[in-house]
């Protein structure tokens, strides 16, 4: 959660209308009520005693006053003294009086006992006061106001007064509590609201010397911690945003790089497709082959050289981008080694080197791994061995221990110094000898990365002048099934078997590519309809269903993918195989097109083999080979030139040397022209150089220059 | 009408009735409390339903304390019975010796109505009434 995403502060509501002060006051009030009642009960007991004593005293006073009054009047006629007696009882707050003497029964005052105003009959016997007087035979019955009522009235007054007192005390207590508790509480509440509103510098008042101050101290620590964590969170989020933006920039750069590579791959392969493809077509013509085979082969090799160069660059880029994948296939190890051996046997013979193959692997060993990468590694290592060995031999040794295969490439070449060994596997980095021999400096870098992907590593042992040995082990698990030996079909002398009719549609917006593929297909007996974009191809499929459709993936109006979807949707009742044609070599793009629904994918430059394989696998087409023999594909190595008398001017020699080292073919051509113009003695050198140049053999040019005098 | 307001009013009426010895009012209050307890038609709930179409909160007055409920009878209902019983004891059974009981009840109910704290109610909650 970011600070900006934190939960918005909600207004905290009081659940009860009365807070702590009221509750405390209520509890205190309870206690006071109990105490008050106890006090009241005690007071009542005392009051009852007092009242009883009062009644006794008043009775005695009345009796005494009555005796004195009667004695003063010297009479026993109480009736005659009624008024005086009424005055007495009124004065003493006696409600009524009954006087019972032997002569009379007199009632003075009100002695009725009303329900709502009861009386208390206090005495029925004359008090001891008159015991020794003449009225000892007279009984007085005094009627006082009800004892319970008087006590009750008194109790009510007491309780009322106490209740009022307690209520006032409660109110004062609550006011005091509100001030004591409420003021700091309100202050803390206000400070908390300010903090929640965003004023992070607000702190609670911890200077108070009570519980609130104590609490405020802890709360301030919590707020400090909270601020600190928020700051850290904010910084972390900023760092994360920065890292994310940097990652996005890197991703954008990677995407741009991949797009650039895809585009460059397409842009370079497309014209290469025309070069290599038309060369291959023209070489199928015996008349052209007889007259122009060498130049045509040169063009073919130049195209292959360019293709190899772009493939190396793309491979390295793929490796750096982590896009290189392992493509496992089942293959025969022995066949792989034989193929590589055949390739380099001739090259070694050309240089006068001995080629040795120690194949200790049992024949017909089928394994599952990335055959292409292993072959690439072997070709690169052995190619370097041949390049950097002038005399002696190049040996390839292969052995296996179960699924573990060990490869060793040993040469008797110039060796690699320790200093050069440190930079050997750095892309585009070459040692002094490597610079002299030409190349891009990518081979060993790609080789090592490929081996790492295969779970292996490359070991190097070399000393200057003592040759070089490269070793690597790779795990090649046994394949689940035997792989039939690939029949090497000479692509340029096969046609569809008689009776096999194949109708194809070729769609490509580039006319050369369209025509080229059509040539290939017509050359092997396929009838071809052409379309300049996907929409035309779809219309042609609707007109007449073909047997197979070749769709370039990049076309205007409607591209290959869209055309494929239209063809599938409009022809749900009949399935026509569709082949994607693309110049892109990126693995993820290949996978993409296959996932889109294409049955196969062929790359540019076209190879007749791949086209034939498509037809064979998708249409079960049968091919028959033509009877015309194919002349040797290896070019002539060139006649020997006598260069012993040749002396080359130093600037010319240096220019040739420099141009040969960096592979500047055009510059070499210019310098050869200058050389021819300089005189007849240099003509033989020029011819020799031209021969090598025709084969793009810059190493050969360097070897020739090594044997030529210059000053 | 909340239960707290009900107690405040009840306490006031009790105090005034005791002061003026209005026994009919006191007997009526006892009867009302018994009827409320028996019928479970508590006056605050009746008024609240009439005005707001909902009953009063059964946890009002619990002070937020956790109580374990062991019976379906509400504490308010039990409180009515308790108060009625104590008033009967103090006014009718032992009017002279336990004169203080109704006064104590009246003051306590009045105080609970003001402060919202009723120890008897809390005691009943603790006993397991809902």
Apex A609 CA angle, A333 and A563, nearest 5: 120
Note whether A372 and A461 are same-domain residues: yes
Structural domain includes residue A310: no
- Say if A146 is an interface residue toward chain B (CB within 8 Å): no
pTM passes above 0.80: no
Distance, in Å, from the CA atom of B4 to the CA atom of B10, rounded to the nearest integer, reads 10
What are the tens digits of pLDDT across the range A395-417? 999 988 888 899 999 999 888 88
Cβ separation B116–A18 shorter than 8 A: yes
Which domain CATH number covers A149?
3.30.450
pLDDT above 60: residue A119: no
Indicate whether A683 and A573 sit together in one domain.
no
Considering the domain boundaries, does residue A48 fall inside one?
Answer: yes
- What is the predicted pLDDT for the residue at A322? 64
Which neighbouring-strand residues pair with A284?
none
Domain presence at residue A79:
yes
Kindly report each contact of residues B59-66 with a partner whose C-beta sits within 8 Å and lies 24 or more positions away, as own/partner. B60/B2, B60/B3, B60/B4, B61/B3, B61/B4, B61/B112, B61/B116, B61/B117, B61/B118, B61/B121, B61/B122, B62/B122, B62/B125, B63/A23, B63/B116, B63/B117, B63/B122, B64/A15, B65/B122, B65/B125
Give the three-state DSSP class for B71: coil
Question: Domain boundary residue among A97, A132, A164?
Answer: A164
Give the Cα separation of B91 and B86 in Å (integer): 8
pLDDT of residue B28: 94
d(CA A370, CA A380): 16
Residue with the bigger pLDDT between A686 and A698: it is A686
Which CATH number fits the domain that encloses residue A547?
3.40.50.2300
Q: Which of A475, A504, A532 is the last residue of a domain?
A: A475
- More confidently predicted of A197 and A703: A197
Domain boundary among A420, A445, A475: A475
Do the chains contact at B107 and A36, CB–CB below 8 Å?
yes
Same domain, A600 and A702: no
pLDDT of residue A381: 92
Q: In chain B, what residues touch A166 (CB-CB under 8 Å)?
A: 107
Range with lowest mean pLDDT among A31-35, A327-331, A601-605, A636-640: A636-640
Question: Which DSSP letter does residue A279 get?
Answer: H
A568, A699: one domain: no
Residue A169 lies in a domain: no
Mutation target to probe the A interface, by most A beta carbons within 10 A, among B115, B120, B121, B122 is B115
Residues 6+ apart with CB under 8 A from A448: A425, A457, A458
Same domain, A374 and A423: yes
Closest by CA position to A442, among listed A319, A552, A531: A319
Q: Do B104 and A27 touch (CB under 8 A)?
A: no
Chain B: closest CA distance from residue A45 (Å): 12
CB atoms within 10 A of CB A704: 20
CB contact (8 A) between residue A33 and residue B119: no
The answer to whether residue A154 is domain-embedded is yes
What does the CA dihedral A364, A367, A372, A375 come to, rounded to 10 degrees?
Answer: -50
Cβ pair A266, A583 in contact under 8 A: yes
Number of domains chain A contains: 4
Within 8 A by CB and 6+ apart from A623, the residues are A489, A494, A495, A496, A497, A524, A612, A616
Tell me, yes or no, whether A385 lies in a domain. yes
Residue A4 per-residue DSSP state: G
Q: Which chain A residue has the Cα nearest residue B16?
A: A160
What's the rounded Cα separation, in Å, for the pair A341 and A349?
12
> What is Dmax (Cα atoms) for chain B?
45
Alpha-carbon gap, residue A333 to A371, rounded angstroms: 9
Regarding whether A28 and A78 lie in a shared domain, the answer is yes
Checking DSSP bridges between strand A459-462 and strand A468-475, what pairing results, if any? antiparallel
From the list A517, A514, A379, A497, the residue with the least C-alpha distance to A447 is A379
Residues of A in contact with B117 (CB under 8 A): 23, 26-27, 30
DSSP A297-319: HHHHHHHHHHHHHHHHHHHHHHH
Are the beta carbons of B117 and A33 separated by less than 8 Å? no
ipTM of predicted assembly, 2 dp: 0.80
| Position A170 in a domain | no
| Per-residue pLDDT tens digits for A2-52 | 444 444 455 565 555 557 777 787 788 888 888 888 888 888 889 888 888
Enumerate residues 164 to 183 of chain A having a beta carbon within 8 A of any beta carbon in chain B.
166, 170
What is the extent of the structural domain holding A669? 647-710
Using CB atoms within 10 A of its CB, is residue A711 exposed (0-12), middle (13-18) or buried (19+)? exposed
Helix orientation angle between A698-706 and A683-694, rounded to the nearest 10 degrees: 150
The set of residues, in sequence order, having a beta carbon less than 8 Å from that of A431 and lying 6+ positions away, is A416, A417, A419, A420, A423, A424
Domain co-membership, A654 together with A530? no
Tokens at residue A24, please? 């405390």
pLDDT in tens, A214-242: 889 999 999 999 889 999 999 999 999 99
Yes or no, beta carbons of B100 and A37 under 8 Å apart: yes
CA A595 to chain centre: 25
Under 8 Å between Cβ of A534 and A560: yes
Among A517, A516, A523, CA closest to A548 = A517
A contact test, residue of B4, B15, B103, B121 with most A CBs within 10 A: B103
Asked if residue A534 lies in contact with residue A506, where contact means CB atoms within 8 angstroms, the answer is no
A17 is written with which tokens? 């209308």
Q: Is residue A543 part of a domain?
A: yes
Q: Is the preceding peptide bond at A285 cis, omega within 30 degrees of 0?
A: no
Greatest mean pLDDT among A266-280, A329-343, A550-564 lies in A550-564
């Amino acid at each position: 959660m970011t600070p900006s995403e934190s939960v918005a502060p909600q207004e905290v509501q009081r659940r009860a209308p009365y807070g702590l002060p009221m509750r405390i006051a209520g509890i205190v009030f309870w206690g006071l009520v109990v105490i008050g009642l106890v006090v009241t009960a005690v007071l009542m007991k005392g009051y009852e005693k007092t009242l009883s004593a009062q009644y006794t005293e008043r009775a005695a006073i009345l009796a005494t006053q009555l005796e004195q009054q009667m004695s003063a009047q010297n009479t026993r006629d109480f009736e005659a003294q009624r008024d005086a007696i009424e005055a007495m009882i009124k004065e003493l707050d006696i409600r009524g009086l009954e006087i019972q003497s032997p002569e009379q029964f007199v009632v003075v005052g009100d002695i009725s006992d009303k329900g709502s105003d009861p009386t208390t009959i206090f005495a029925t016997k004359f008090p001891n006061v008159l015991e020794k007087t003449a009225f000892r035979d007279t009984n007085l019955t005094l009627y006082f106001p009800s004892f319970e009522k008087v006590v009750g009235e008194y109790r009510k007054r007491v309780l009322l007064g106490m209740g009022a007192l307690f209520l006032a005390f409660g109110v004062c207590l609550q006011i005091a509590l509100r001030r004591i508790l409420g003021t700091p509480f309100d202050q803390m509440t206000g400070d908390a609201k300010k903090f929640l509103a965003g004023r992070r510098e607000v702190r609670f008042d911890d200077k108070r010397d009570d519980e609130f101050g104590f609490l405020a101290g802890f709360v301030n620590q919590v707020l400090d911690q909270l601020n600190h964590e928020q700051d850290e969170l904010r910084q972390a989020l900023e760092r994360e945003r920065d890292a994310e933006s940097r990652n996005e920039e890197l991703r954008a750069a990677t995407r741009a790089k991949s797009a650039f590579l895809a585009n460059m791959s397409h842009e370079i392969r497309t014209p290469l497709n025309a070069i290599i493809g038309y060369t291959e077509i023209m070489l199928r013509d015996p008349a052209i082959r007889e007259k122009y085979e060498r130049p045509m082969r040169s063009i073919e090799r130049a195209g292959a050289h360019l293709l190899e160069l772009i493939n190396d660059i793309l491979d390295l880029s793929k490796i750096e981008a982590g896009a290189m994948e392992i493509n496992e296939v089942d293959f025969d190890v022995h066949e792989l080694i034989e193929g590589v051996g055949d390739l380099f046997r001739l090259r070694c013979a050309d240089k006068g080197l001995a080629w040795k193959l120690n194949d200790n692997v049992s024949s017909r060993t089928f394994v599952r791994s990335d055959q292409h990468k292993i072959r690439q590694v072997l070709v690169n290592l052995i190619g370097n061995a041949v390049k950097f060995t002038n005399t002696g031999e190049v040996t390839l040794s292969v052995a296996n221990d179960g699924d573990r295969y060990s490869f060793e490439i040993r040469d008797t070449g110039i060796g690699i110094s320790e200093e050069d060994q440190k930079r050997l596997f750095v892309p585009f980095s070459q040692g002094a000898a490597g610079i002299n021999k030409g190349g891009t400096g990518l081979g060993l870098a790609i080789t090592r990365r490929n081996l790492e992907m295969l779970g292996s590593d490359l070991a190097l042992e070399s000393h200057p002048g003592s040759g070089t040995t490269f070793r690597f082990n790779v795990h090649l698990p046994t394949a689940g099934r035997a792989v039939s030996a690939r029949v090497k079909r000479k692509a340029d002398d096969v046609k569809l078997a008689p009776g096999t009719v194949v109708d194809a549609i070729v769609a490509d917006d580039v006319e050369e590519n369209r025509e080229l593929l059509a040539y290939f297909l017509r050359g092997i007996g396929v009838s071809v309809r052409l379309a300049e974009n996907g929409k035309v191809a779809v219309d042609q499929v609707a007109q007449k269903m073909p047997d197979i459709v070749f769709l370039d993936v990049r076309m205007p109006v409607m591209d290959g993918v869209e055309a494929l979807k239209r063809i599938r949707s409009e022809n749900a009742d009949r399935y026509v195989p569709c082949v994607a044609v693309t110049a892109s070599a990126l693995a993820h793009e290949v996978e993409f097109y296959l996932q889109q629904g294409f049955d196969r994918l062929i790359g540019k430059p076209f190879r007749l083999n791949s086209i034939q394989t498509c037809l064979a696998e998708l249409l079960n087409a049968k091919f028959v080979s033509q009877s015309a023999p194919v002349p040797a594909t290896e070019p002539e190595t060139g006649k020997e030139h006598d260069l012993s008398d040749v002396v080359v001017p130093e600037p010319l020699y240096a220019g040739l040397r420099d141009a040969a080292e960096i592979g500047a073919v055009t510059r070499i051509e210019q310098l050869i022209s200058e050389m021819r113009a300089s005189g007849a003695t240099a003509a033989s050198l020029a011819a020799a150089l031209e021969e090598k140049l025709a084969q793009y053999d810059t190493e050969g040019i360097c070897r020739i220059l090594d044997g030529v005098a210059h000053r | 009408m909340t239960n707290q307001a009900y107690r405040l009013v009840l306490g006031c009426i009790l105090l005034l009735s005791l002061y003026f010895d209005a026994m009919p009012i006191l007997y009526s209050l006892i009867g009302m409390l018994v009827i409320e307890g028996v019928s479970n038609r508590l006056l605050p709930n009746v008024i609240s339903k009439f005005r707001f179409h909902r009953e009063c909160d059964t946890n009002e007055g619990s002070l937020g304390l956790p109580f374990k409920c062991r019976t379906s009878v509400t504490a308010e209902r039990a409180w009515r019975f308790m108060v009625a019983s104590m008033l009967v004891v103090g006014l009718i059974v032992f009017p002279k010796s336990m004169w203080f009981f109704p006064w104590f009840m009246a003051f306590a109910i009045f105080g609970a109505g003001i402060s919202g704290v009723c120890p008897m109610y809390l005691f009943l909650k603790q006993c397991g009434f809902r």
